[in-house]
Amino acid sequence: MRTFRDRIRHTILFEIIALAFVVVGGSWIIGRPMEIIGALSLMFSALAMGWNLLFNWLFDIWDRKYRAFAKRGFVVRAIHASLFELGMVIAGLFLVSWWLGITYWEAFIIDVGFSAFFLLYAYGFNWAYDTIFPVPREA
């Protein structure tokens, strides 16, 4: 099991590296200044953390009421992840449209791009992190 210190390192590295990729790549792809994309990225990060807290709290309330916290198999986990991402796309749509002053359709395309990037990035980052900093074996 990972230590608290290791989890802090993981979180900080994940965010710093993601921010670098998103700011540079997003600025190039979208054609906006890095400061604008950087600020948008920070807002997205805050949005994701807030939504994560709220969504998981609400999901746990639902899970307790309707499933009595039964073991979460593939289907429940897939529904959980899909609903979380749907909420992020909806909230992100309004944030991107407002911040960049673009249509909802353009914001949707950018938002889906953010989601696709983070899906691939999270997979690659966690694989690399586990390779560089293996999970300690339990005694």
- According to the model, what pLDDT value does residue 72 have? 86
Helix (H, G, I), strand (E, B) or coil at 22: helix
Query: d(Cα 123, Cα 118) in Å, to the nearest integer?
Result: 8
Instruction: Identify whether 106 is part of a domain.
Output: yes
**Which phi-psi region, left, alpha or beta, contains residue 101 (left: φ > 0; alpha: ψ -120 to 50)?**
left
- According to the model, what pLDDT value does residue 2 have? 85
What is the mean pLDDT, run by run of 10 residues, along the chain of 139 residues? 89 92 95 96 92 92 92 91 92 96 96 91 92 82
Question: pTM of this prediction?
Answer: 0.82
Instruction: Identify whether 137 is part of a domain.
Output: no
Query: d(Cα 77, Cα 71) in Å, to the nearest integer?
Result: 10
Query: d(Cα 3, Cα 136) in Å, to the nearest integer?
Result: 9
Total domains in the fold of the chain:
1
Task: List C-alpha distances in Å: 100 to 63, 104, 139.
Answer: 37, 11, 52
Instruction: Identify whether 138 is part of a domain.
Output: no
